[in-house]
Structure 1
Amino acid sequence: MDLENFAPGSGHLEPRAALRSDAPSLDLNGDWRFRLSPGANLPDDFADPGYDDSGWDSLPVPSHWQLHGHGSPAYTNVLYPFPVDPPHVPNENPTGDHRRAFDLPEGWTGGRLRFEGVESFARVWLNGHELGFSTGSRLPVEFDAGPWLVPGRNVLAVRVHQWSAASYLEDQDMWWLPGIFRDVSLTRSAADVFVHASYADGRGTLSFDGPGRLAIAELGIADLAPGTEITVDAEPWTAETPRLYEAVVTLPGETVRVRVGFRTISIEDGVLLANGRPLLLKGVNRHEFHPEHGRAVPYETMRADILLMKRHNVNAVRTSHYPPHPDFLDLCDELGLWVIDECDLETHGFGQVGWRANPTDDPRWAEALLDRMRRMVERDKNHPSIIMWSLGNEAGVGRNLAVMADWTRQRDPSRPIHYEGDWSCANTDVYSRMYASHAEVEAIGQGVEQPLPDPELDARRRAMPFLQCEYAHAMGNGPGGLADYQELFERYPRLAGGFIWEWIDHGLTHPTFEYAYGGDYGEPVHDGNFVIDGLVFPDRTPSPGLLDLKKVFEPVRFEFADQVVRVANHHGYRDLSHLGFVAVVEEEGVPVAEFPLEVPAAGGEVKLPDLPAGDGERWLTVRAVLATDQPWADAGHEVAWGQTRLSSGAVDGLTSGAAADFDFDPGTGRLTRLFGIEVEGPQLELWRAPIDNDTYGGLAGRWRDLGLHRLTHRVDAIETGDGLTVRARVAPAATDLGLHVVYRWVATGGGLELTVDVEPDGDWTVPLPRLGVVMALPAAFGDVTWFGRGPGEAYPDTGMAARVGRWSATVEELQTPYVYPQENGHRADVRWAELTSPSEGIRVTGAPVFGLTARRWTTAELEAARHRPDLKPGDRVHVNLDLAQHGVGTAACGPAALPQYELHAGPATFRLRFDPTGSSSV
């Protein structure tokens, strides 16, 4: 049967460009009649125009039927959710029958039925006549409707099968969601135009293929014939300056409009260039996703995504792992993003069986793979934002890649070809990798990477630019190491940057869990929360990872010296004239002076005025903001910032004074009352609720095997004198490893000072999750003010977006709402923090700094939670005061924390002081 057919389809018309035409068109989106069946072997009587579908349900198109109460979603990353037995599929094959009646306008003749995207197999009837079938879920298909259209009422019937032979080509780390999920229309447009617009030496060169005549009024082009090449004075298109010109192509029967951007992508001496200048990709991978609509993403959401990317200094998108809705590419042209357009191809699950029978290397699949490549290139060929064609993703190696690449080079030699899955780069123009370590990236940048066995291929690859099509896996708390990667990308010209995995958490809205991930629908095969791996949460709230990325990707950098600030322009294609610069001096986080800076358009050294003096710790912050409104953000939007400390401020020594009000437990030496407040006093803490990088990278398992989550505390001695000294040994059961801990308490100046000395006992070979103390306060202590880095969280290898200042938040606001609960909310380099209730408060001061978290649940409760609603506030606020934490890394997929961010057991001392709020501090 056709479901198990290697052919990509039947009856469909030749692929063509997505164009804006004035030809008549009917929008067939809306409410359709729908029926779901559990199997595929069904009569096709429903296609008869007279069929009674009054008992069927109603289903919106575009949509996925599983998100409207018909069946359930399922998520896998690599594994196929059916046996790997190509081209066969299970008998249990959910099948959705769709019917849509529409009235043909009077006088209408001819036309094409156009489907922008149907997953995974669609058979189409019009007025009872079968038009054909189609596969290639994320690609358009058109059928000739003209012979079967009738005046008045017409009936369109579409049968969609979830599983087909084509499903083996679409194993793309996402929810399996069948349906007619993109637009459906009946159009009388048949135009196909390919506009070629290059840029060199300050001028644009233009020609086009196709029928008709082309005009661009703004450039004085009135009647350009096909195949004629002209050179004109035009501004270039770049992602920073997305200059577009409106071209009008007049053809018999219709006029189409194409927005033209003049730009040239080239490779010289192993460097990727745009318009002759090096191109550094600061990108993200983007699946199409909406928490309520799945891949049926509304236009407003697409636009909001791009605006959010631009506002966070992202300049590029890889359309992982399929071509997006054409509207998204229009927006990239308009607002400015470099795009790698990726073919609708991934066969990752064949890796589980040693790549046996992989379609990429099976000639029976050649036509299907080429069809997918052709449909993508033909649809998207006019977009200036697209700088590379990608053959697909994680589809192994094989002869069909050459078929796809050879056709693409012939059709469009102006764009390089990308594919990561074959490291020999036999069919590509760039060397692409995923999750290469920092060390390997540096070796590639230097041109000293491991050679290929084939000297000819090795020499060819060494002449290619290198990019990381995926790196810095943004799953849960993280990713770490962003700044370290970016430093390498900027240091070596061969490195063209890369794309963070990925843009958004794919959490589906759920009535109980808030957001669902793999396994939440009872799937027998799934990959859990691995689909929750984005820079924005499902509701598109930026995560701390996106805020860090904005800082790392900043196009302006600041260096400070005595009375000067050096401003460096890191834009690739524009100067700084669109920005304004403002400086502020803060003392203990309170502004004391603010003034503008006059920065030359090219950047350079700017002299600072005399800055006010003061006794406290003072910081100078310089901000670059938009001087005027831009299409992607309003005037005043902050693009970049830099900070330098002007003075450290005075630190009070220990002084005598009135005795602090406190009590200790005589048996354990633990603090029980402080300034009249009942507390559970500080004790050593090593554990953190594992982040995804800890778990998937294996480190959490090593910690748990060692027992760091179940420490025991043994008091060896309690000594009194000038203060209270508690000697203890902290260790997990079942091991001889431990830590000797000495807590020294001294009352001073109406406050209470704690010094903690830690000495490892035994041979610790596993890094520690954290090193600090934990205490608990009553639930009323729900407000926190601190002087340190903020406003968001920061860990040793994250937190680039956190700047030194004075910040305030509720305990609830301190939590980072990761879909899968885990360690979060750590505020770094805190000088002092005040935790207050409506009537009283405690001030904690570090000597010199500490890390702070405050939660309404314990670390154990945080670790046990699987979804955010699992976290229930208790009757305590649990406060961690840390000396250090282990780095975050990106080991969920990629390298672990770099050595400089690891936390190893060793002798350590840290000091904290507790005062009632309003008192003096250290």
Structure 2
Amino acid sequence: MTNDYFEDHSPGRGTMTPRAWYASSSATSLSLNGSWLLRVSPTADARDESFAEPGFDAADWAEVTVPGHWVLQGDGAFGRPAYTNHLYPFPVDPPRVPTENPTGDHLYRFDLPEDWPDDGGAVLRFDGVESCARVWLNGTRLGEFKGSRLPHEFAVGHLLEPSGNVLAVRVHQWSAGSYLEDQDQWWLPGIFRDVTLRHRPEGCAGDFFVHASFDHRTGQGTLRVESDTAGRVSVPALGIDVATGATVTVPVRPWSAEVPTLYDGELVTAGERVPLRIGFRTVELADGLIRVNGTAVLFKGVNRHEWHPGTGRALDPETMRRDVLLMKQHNINAVRTAHYPPHPAFLDLCDEYGLWVIDECDLETHGFTEQDWRDNPVDDDRWTPALLDRAARTVERDKNHPSVVIWSLGNEAGTGRGLTAMAEWIHHRDPSRLVHYEGDPNSRDTDMYSRMYAGHAEVERIGRELDGGTHKRRRLPFILCEYGHAMGNGPGGLAEYQRLFETYDRLQGGFVWEWIDHGIAHPGLGYAYGGDFGEELHDGNFVCDGLVFPDRRPSPGLLEYKKVIEPVRIHGDGADGTVTVTNRYDFADLAALAFEWSYQVDGETVETGPLVVPRLAPAESAVVKLPPRPAGPEDGETRWTVRAVLAADTAWAPRGHEVAWGQFPVTERTRPVLRPAVGPVSGDGAITLGPARFDPRTGALGSIGTVEVSGLRLDVWRAPTDNDEGTDWLTGTRTAALWRNAGLHRMRHRLDAVELGENTLTVRTRVAPAAREFGLDTDYRWTSDGDRLRLTVSVRPDGEWPVPLPRLGVRLALAAADEVRWFGAGPHEGYPDTRAAARLGRYESTVDELQTPYVRPQENGARADVRWAEIGGLRIEGDPAFYFTARRWTTERLDAAAHLTDLTPGDAVWVNLDHALHGIGTASCGPGPLPRYQLRAEGAEFAFVLSQLR
């Protein structure tokens, strides 16, 4: 057996010229998806090619589903998934690959439908195979191809039989193409996208290019459809009926991500009728900005890998639609198809529902960083034909989608002549769109300056055009193609980035990394990540870094992002009873929205009503008068809430769906007051103070009334988040490592004194880590009015503290608790730099529902700005407001867990009442928390009023 086809530089042999993806409304097609026969061999040459011959006996082969990955089927019988971020899981010796090269031989038998035409030809199409395939039909070898996330077609009409057709496909996991596909994802071999047989009648349209531009000054759209087969183009709604190649200009409504107007048309040739969905829009680089239809756009985007926890990158139409609907419902307006073209049906959905798309080529060579980019394929002329093939297959397939406004050359592939060749080819083939590539620091080949994970200060310098670089780069718009790394709890700092985007015109937004956690459903672990399948080389849970969990439930990070990028800004002044509404859309006015006000007293809504807001154009603002304040208590904390909701059902959300909201206070909260009326009494083996009993030796609280309390003490440790564990790109430090090195996970509590005063029980302690000389002098002062108990905690740092604190508050255990009520921010978690989306109100939950199920367990579930909370028969009021957390396991057990299945409830509920928390940041890949969100070891005093619920 010769290895030339999977170990050579070429993209393949025998395939047809790439062309537009479409479904004819008149030509017959046959899906070849379904149950296929499979045999997996450990090496590429373990079996000969006789399986492709007619009459081969495959009775003992297994069955698998296509589209699908064989390693996700068969309960491990066909191999296992493997995850690496950028390291190649094989020796780097391009274009050679290991002898250990799992190879899947596939067989599919099919009959043609009875109505299959007997004239013309046929095309066999593969939409995605990883990573290299050789194909036979009825014993005839058709050819080979590489390019996993790209379409490949073969002309097969002359080989088809009415019945008994046998399609044979040999798929190699590793090939020369693998060097071009090192894209921070699971390595998953198989035929994972659709396989289709399409009849090609005589006179059909082989390929066509829809050019549909819009002149924003005249409101005119210009249409021209190029076709390699002459025909006519009709658009009934516009009265268009012209020959292919002809240009026609008519008044139209333009397409945008906000108002995705599509016109149904048809391309008719002698052999077939092809439906068209035409969106008129013009993309240009003008005045240093990316403009669509004359308007500079602000990308509020996400990076989207294709993923399903059960089927990997084999996505069904409903899953793709769910992604688009979730994005629209959370104010996302753009997608970067990281790091390969998506299933073509996804772009149909982007056209229909409205999303800007950066369509990225199937290219990444990130692993060559390990050798300082030596032998990088993109700077080696032998690879250029393969690179150009990938560029062509991307552009030709997707060129008729109005949602695609930018082509991207790929990701993290260094620089080189091959990338320049790709950019030149794309610019020449499609000058109607712009070209992106992040790894081009001087923007030599691109139409924009793109970066990943730049810190806030640098982004502001770029916005102010103080970033330096070449003259060309300084004149280009800037986007963060990746930022806000959404791994675990976080990302933090999104609001501050968005303020910069909205302040400086040059900053045209960014794309959060990324959309979904790539956890694999696992019966024993819940969701598996890197290393859970015995990989010798892996990058752990770095593959779980999405705004939605693997099952597509929104994470708190997605809710935060929705709030941060909301397209309507609502600010109010409770003192004068007005609200300022600003339209932050780029194209749409506010006609589709209805506005509502509500008035809260101590977190409870007492009255609601509609609010009339003018039909503001983009960038316009209006000051609107609120109604008179509803009558009610004068001593409560009061505030207005104003919401913008959909006024009618839309394609992506029902009437009443919330798009934006704002809250602003009228009267501030009155802090709890407790006047000491009783003093501590020692006797009967305890110290009593009002309703509470304390241990006379240690001063430890034992109960408040009938509510048992244990373990109350200062707490500074949290189970580090993924962002805590990461390396801050700005400082080079790993916060969690600093914390552990300082011993903050093993603090010791020394009792210095238990003092009984006239009205006060004071417990003096020193809290410090073993092996270190610094600590926290901590006093607990207890007072009571007879029914309630006030705890005042005073903290004074001692010595030189080298690190910030993870948290500062008290922890306690309750013997039994389930239901929780609180007045504060919610309903979901919020941390210092991730709390924009948590609104003040009264909420109810269970302890279990308070937990956020991050795939790798870590600090989670804190509710911010809590005025009071009720749990386990205890009421807790904060002075000032506090962060509240409750869970059925200790922080130490949470810290030790690798998967959610490692966490089992204990006998107690552990409650944290935090005066302050360290911020979250995005240092799992990017910068850590901004300085104002870092919790420094400084003197502090805070208090809680505790009482038994009656």
TM-score band by shorter chain is: over 0.9
Q: Structure 1, unaligned stretches of length 5 or more?
A: 453-457
The answer to whether 1:93 aligns with 2:107 is: no
Distance 1:915 1:607, change over 3 A: same
Matched, 1:597 2:611: yes
What is the TM-score when the length of structure 1 is the normalising length?
0.97
Are 2:248 and 1:238 aligned? no
**Greater mean deviation of Cα atoms: 336-345 or 591-600:** 591-600
Deviation for aligned residue 1:749: 4.2
Cα displacement (A) at 1:275: 0.6
Residue aligning to 1:28? 32
Check the 8 A contact 2:878/2:944 in 1, yes or no: yes
Deviation digits for residues 603-650 of structure 1, max 9, x if unmatched?
511111111242211121001000000100000000000001111254
Alpha carbons of 1:808 and 1:635: their partners in 2 closer, same or farther (altered >3 Å)?
same
Matches within 5 A, 1:425-824: 425-449=443-467, 451-452=468-469, 458-561=470-573, 562-602=576-616, 603-612=621-630, 613-614=632-633, 615-656=635-676, 660-697=690-727, 698-721=734-757, 722-778=759-815, 780-824=816-860
Q: Which amino acid aligns with 2:608?
A: E
| One-letter code aligned to 1:102 | F
Q: Helix, strand or coil: the match of 2:21?
A: coil
Please give the alpha-carbon distance, in whole angstroms, between the structure 1 residues aligned to 2:587 and 2:361. 29
Indicate the residue corresponding to 1:343 in structure 2: 361
**Identity in percent:** 59
Given that 2:83 and 2:186 are in contact with CA atoms closer than 8 Å, whether structure 1 keeps it comes out as yes
Aligned-partner SS, 2:610 = strand
Distance in 1 (alpha carbons) for counterparts of 2:435 and 2:890? 51
Matches of residues 197-276 of structure 1 in structure 2 within 5 Å?
Answer: 197-200=212-215, 201=217, 202-210=219-227, 211=229, 212-222=231-241, 224-276=242-294
Separation in 2, partners of 1:773, 1:105: 72
Maintained 8 Å contact 1:654/1:749:
no
User: How far apart in 1 are the matches of 2:420 and 2:736?
Assistant: 43
Deviations 1:309-364 (A, max 9, x none): 00000000000000000000000000000000000000000111111110010000
What is the CA–CA distance in structure 1 between the aligned matches of 2:222 and 2:510, rounded to whole Å? 29
Q: For 1:585-604, what per-residue CA distance to the aligned partner results, in whole angstroms no more than 9, with x for missing partners? A: 11111111111101101151
2-structure distance, mates of 1:278, 1:468: 16
Q: What corresponds to 1:14 in structure 2? A: 17
C-alpha contact 2:598 2:608 (8 A) present in aligned 1: yes
Residue matched to 1:902 = 934
Report Cα offsets for 1:104-127 as digits up to 9, x if no partner.
Answer: 245434201100110100000011
Looking at structure 2, the residues matched to 319 and 907 of structure 1 have their Cα atoms a distance apart, in angstroms, of 48
Find the counterpart in structure 1 of residue 917 from structure 2. Answer: 885
Aligned to 2:164, the other structure's residue is in SS state strand
Shift of 1:278: 1.2
Greater mean alpha carbon deviation, residues 607-616 or residues 476-485: 607-616
Q: What is the TM-score of this pair, normalised by structure 2? A: 0.94
Residue 559 of structure 1 and its aligned partner are, at CA, apart by 1.6
CA contact (8 A) 2:691 2:786 kept: no
Q: Which residue number corresponds to residue 175 of structure 1?
A: 186
Secondary structure, counterpart of 1:550 in structure 2: helix
Maintained 8 Å contact 1:559/1:567: yes
Query: How far apart are the structure 1 equivalents of 2:382 and 2:774?
Result: 60
CA distance in 2, matches of 1:896, 1:655: 43
**CA deviation string 1:512-565 (max 9, x = no partner):** 001000000000000000001000000000000000000001011112121111
Q: State yes or no: 1:46 paired with 2:51.
A: yes
Query: Could you report, residue by residue, the CA deviation over 1:556-588 in whole angstroms, capped at 9, with x for unpaired residues?
Result: 111212111111111111111111111111111
* Shift in Å, 1:869: 0.6
Greater Cα offset, 145-154 or 391-400: 145-154
Instruction: Specify every segment of 5 or more residues in structure 2 that has no aligned partner in the other structure, as ranges.
Output: 679-688, 728-733
- Measure, in 2, the Cα distance between the counterparts of 1:30 and 1:75: 27
Among candidates 105, 118, 122, match of residue 108 of structure 1: 118
Match of 1:572, SS state, is coil
**2:392 aligns to what?**
374
Q: Deviations over 1:494-521 (max 9, x none)?
A: 1110100000000000010010000000
Paired letter, 1:139: L
Moved more, 30-39 or 339-348: 30-39
Aligned length: 906
How far is the alpha carbon of 1:272 from its aligned partner? Answer: 1.3
Q: Distance in 2 between matches of 1:759 and 1:49?
A: 83
Cα offset, 1:654, TM superposition: 2.2
Write the letter of the residue equivalent to 2:225: F
Shift of 1:791: 0.5
What's the CA shift for 1:467?
A: 0.2
Alpha-carbon distance in 1 for matches of 2:817, 2:404: 53
Aligned-pair distance for 1:656?
Answer: 4.7
Matches within 5 A, 1:19-418: 19-21=22-24, 22-41=26-45, 42-69=47-74, 70-106=78-114, 107-109=117-119, 110-189=121-200, 191-200=206-215, 201=217, 202-210=219-227, 211=229, 212-222=231-241, 224-418=242-436
Q: Quick one: distance in 1 between partners of 2:671 and 2:714?
A: 26
Amino acid at match of 2:813: A
Contact kept? 1:792, 1:799, Cα under 8 Å:
no
Shift of 1:655: 2.8
Of 346-355 and 149-158, the range deviating more from structure 2 = 149-158
Q: CA deviation at 1:208?
A: 1.4
**What is the Cα deviation at residue 481 of structure 1?**
0.2
The aligned counterpart of 1:455 is none
For residues 88 and 785 of structure 2, what CA distance do their matches in structure 1 show? 66
1:850-891 per-position Cα deviation (integer Å, ceiling 9, x unaligned): 110001000000000000010010000000000000000000
Inter-partner Cα distance in structure 1 for 2:601 and 2:412: 53
Partner letter of residue 150 of structure 1? E
Which residue is equivalent to 2:683?
Answer: none
The CA distance in 1 between the partners of 2:671 and 2:352, in whole Å, is 54
Q: Letter of the 2:521 partner, please give it.
A: T
The residue type paired with residue 17 of structure 1 is A
Letter in structure 2 aligned against 1:204: G
**CA distance in structure 2 between the aligned counterparts of 1:892 and 1:426, rounded to whole angstroms:** 30
Distance 1:539 1:717 in 2: 52
Task: Report the CA distance between 1:266 and its aligned residue.
Answer: 1.3
